[in-house]
Structure 1
Amino acid sequence: MMMAIVVALAGCGGRPIGVMQPVGVQASSGASQVHLIAATTRAPAPDKAVLFSGERGTGLMIDAVTISIPPDAVRKVGEVQWPKRLPPNPAKEFTTVSVEPLATPAQGQSWLKAHSGKSRRVLVFVHGFNNRYEEAVYRFAQIVHDSKTDVVPVVFTWPSRASIFDYNYDKESTNYSRDALEELLARIAGDKSVGEITVMAHSMGTWLAVEALRQMAIRDGQVNPKIKNVILAAPDLDVDVFGQQFRSFGPTPPHFTLFVSQDDRALTLSRRISGNVERLGQIDASKEPYRSQLESAGITVLDLTKLKSGDNLNHGKFAESPEVVRLIGDRLIAGQTVTDSDIGLGESLGAVTIGAATTVGQAASTVISAPILIFDPRTRRNYDKQLLLLSETAGGTLDSVGDTVGNAVGK
């Protein structure tokens, strides 16, 4: 099994090298464009069509990048349509339209101001282990496009050699990049055109994101108030270490949302490498001690274990599932609560969560059979209040009302 996981992690061959070579604006009916900032601590590559290598650079380099996305009619939501050959075909494939260096903070501020939408929100994405520069940029462009969210997109890409055999190098590269990510977040937060920030990170990138926020909290006494939400997808984090990191954020941390999946094969390998300590991205939020700890911390968990995806490792479900990318755009970036009705699990009961399962009686079986399980302490508190109100109005007990609601949902 371990060898199969290694082979799956290592494989992404067949793609042409040099997709970051800009081709300019080309007419393609139905194609759309994503304008984003790409910030990196990677070293520049000798080949300008590659742009940045997997080695460590000096300082923070920032580019404004425009990616063309083929028409929705010819692509599946959640997929990156990689070019089969170069130059790419914008009618069917992702295409790099332009790359413009932002050499000074003033240029970065001008770009942010020019691209700020009505929400004045910025989404900062940190990629995971085993990613090339172009993979991070194209995947983020896909997430932004498919989620249809009103944000200014910023991707932070750190030095990954994109090899399963360089796990330790990549891990040290996240440590190498902590100061730069903290600097980037501070720059964005200091911009008057920015109202609020969501930080989203995947896999090993979650370590980098949480560490940068921890540094900020220690340095400034708090995480910048503009950083409202933190989304960790398949977090490759030791659960014990994350507990210590979270405590460093103080009494008013950003709201955290976790995407977890117990069948994540990449995290299974990471757990073996890391002393067999459970990874945060594989926890079962419905069981103790996690259930009580998550509720106390106010952390939302979306369990994707039952969700099917085209990812053999089950490590990238958050980006490949249409339901999940819609949730990211519609709810999570705005810091709103997430209920079963948001993902189409039933309109009659809009507040069933993992945390409330033991309270709502037979409704629990309905939730457990759903493809996405939700644990949101805020939703649970509201739901418990609704049940109590129903109980008092009906003159019955809380348990009897729970059974009544549960039976209704089960029909």
Structure 2
Amino acid sequence: MPKYWMISDRDGGGDGDERNPGGPRYLISDGDRDLHNIDNWNRVSFPQFRKAITDACDKFPDLPPDQHDEEKHLALCIHGYNNGFAHSIDFYTALNDTLFSGDDGLGICVLFTWPSKGQVYDYLADREEARMCANDLADVLSSLYVTLGRNQAAAVADPSKACKAKVSIIAHSMGNFVTQMALFHAWKRNNRPLATSLINQLLMVAADVDNNIFDSGEQVGDGDGEGIANLTYRVSA
């Protein structure tokens, strides 16, 4: 099983400063070479990446329903503003090695890296890149949504086919804006206006989003925060 997983929405082979016009690239690594060098990652197709993730999650413990809180996580790590490729790798590997490594780790952590310029004065440029990349992340989340739905349906007939992992997101700074918009797009595509959870835990660290993104909750609205509200089981900030 790969030690490191990455979905890169950057151009230039995966480490550039602009959005890749062809969409995300999927990469894996055993961690035996310098991860700051994009050539040291193994590029795979989306079906190969999805199968590798699925196979890895199938190896997680099959816990009874009353131990649901102890299930492993399939977590997306989304970095923030002012993070070039090298800094995004540092952010991800520190998180992965601390929380997700070894038998006692939380599960699998996947980096979603988007083309932040890595410069303090490029805030507005980063914001626009974040907005554009949200649709690409929504594609990933929509695929997860479909897969989880199929697994839930299969588990009704055969409980052994139930999911063994919870999908979670750890987002930092402007990465929360990417997440907010991606969940909004995914919700509109797949789930609106129902309230079926896709994300079990959303951890919003130093979130660069408006503090009024959620509607009153009395009825389903059309604000950008509705995706988070309707597709996430628990939000921590």
Matches within 5 A, 1:204-243: 204-220=174-190, 221=192, 222=194, 225-241=197-213
Spell out, residue by residue over 1:85-139, the C-alpha distance to the aligned partner (whole angstroms, 9 max, x if none).
xx97xxxxx8879511112x32012211342233452000110001112321232
In 1, Cα distance between equivalents of 2:18 and 2:227: 31
**1: CA distance between counterparts of 2:78 and 2:195?**
17
With over 3 angstroms needed to count, the CA separation of the structure-2 counterparts of 1:111 and 1:253, relative to structure 1, is closer
Report if aligned partners of 1:34, 1:145 keep a CA contact under 8 Å in 2.
no
Q: Which of these residues, 178, 194, 197, is aligned with residue 134 of structure 2? A: 178
Letter in 2 for 1:122: L
- Structure showing greater radius of gyration is 1
| 1:208–1:249 Cα change, 3 Å | closer
1:254 aligns with 2:212: no
**Change beyond 3 A, Cα 1:194–1:186:** farther
Q: Is the 8 A contact 2:187 2:231 kept in 1?
A: no
Structure 1 residues 228 and 161, CA gap change in structure 2 (3 angstroms):
same
TM-score normalized by structure 1? 0.43
Residue of structure 2 aligned with 1:56, choices 13, 19, 24 = 19
1:112 aligned partner: 53
Residues 1:140 and 2:108 aligned together? no
Give the structure 2 partner of residue 162 of structure 1: 118
Question: Could you tell me which amino acid in structure 1 is paired with residue 42 of structure 2?
Answer: E
Residue of structure 2 equivalent to 1:78: none
Paired residues of 1:34 and 1:144 also in contact (CA < 8 A): no
Are the equivalent residues in 1 in contact too, given 2:75–2:108 (CA < 8 A)?
Answer: yes
Detail structure 1 runs of 4+ shifted over 3 Å in the superposition: 94-98, 191-195, 241-253
Name the counterpart of 2:218.
none
**Cα 1:52–1:34, aligned 2, differ >3 Å: closer, same or farther?**
same
Deviation at 1:255, TM superposition (A): 0.7
Q: Secondary structure at the match of 1:57?
A: coil
* 1:283-298 equivalent positions in 2, closer than 5 A: none
Which letter maps to 2:181? E
1:292 is aligned to none
Q: 1:134 to 1:223 in 2, by over 3 A?
A: farther
Q: Determine if contact 2:176/2:209 at 8 Å carries over to the other structure.
A: yes
Q: CA deviation at 1:188?
A: 3.3
Q: Could you give the per-residue CA deviations for residues 134-167 of structure 1, whole angstroms, max 9, x where no partner exists? A: 3212321211221243311111111111111211
- Where relative contact order (Cα < 8 A, 6+ residues apart) is larger, the structure is 2
In the alignment, structure 1 segments of 5+ residues that lack a partner are: 1-32, 46-50, 69-86, 89-93, 259-411
Question: Equivalent residue of 1:144, what SS?
Answer: helix
Contact 1:217 1:223 in 2 (8 A): no
1:200 aligned partner, one-letter code: I
Match of 1:124 in 2: 76
* TM-aligned CA deviation for residue 65 of structure 1: 2.5
Are the equivalent residues in 2 in contact too, given 1:43–1:54 (CA < 8 A)? yes
Question: Structure 1's 62 and 95: CA in aligned 2 closer, same or farther, altered over 3 A?
Answer: closer
Q: Is the 8 A contact 1:39 1:62 kept in 2?
A: yes
Offset at residue 178 of structure 1 (A): 1.0
Q: TM-score, normalised by structure 2?
A: 0.72
Is this contact kept in 2: 1:216–1:223, CA < 8 A? no
3-state SS of paired residue (2:115): coil
Distance between the aligned counterparts of 2:89 and 2:183, measured in 1?
22
SS of the equivalent of 2:225 reads: helix
**Residue 100 of structure 1 pairs with residue 17 of structure 2:** no
Structure 2 distance, partners of 1:171, 1:67, is 31
> What is residue 198 of structure 1 aligned with on the other side?
168
Q: How has the CA–CA distance of structure 1 residues 174 and 124 changed in structure 2, closer, same or farther, with 3 Å as cutoff? A: same
Partner of 1:43, secondary structure, is coil
Displacement after TM superposition at 1:41 (Å) = 1.4
Residue 36 (1) aligns with residue 4 (2) = yes
The structural deviation recorded for 1:240 is 2.4
Distance 1:250 1:199, change over 3 A: closer
C-alpha separation between the residues in 1 aligned to 2:36 and 2:135?
31
Number of corresponding residues = 197
Aligned to 2:107: 151
Distance 1:199 1:61, change over 3 A: same
Whether the aligned pair in 1 keeps the contact of 2:198 and 2:232 (CA below 8 Å) is no
Q: In the TM superposition, what whole-angstrom CA distance separates every residue of 1:347-383 from its partner, at most 9, and x where no partner exists?
A: xxxxxxxxxxxxxxxxxxxxxxxxxxxxxxxxxxxxx
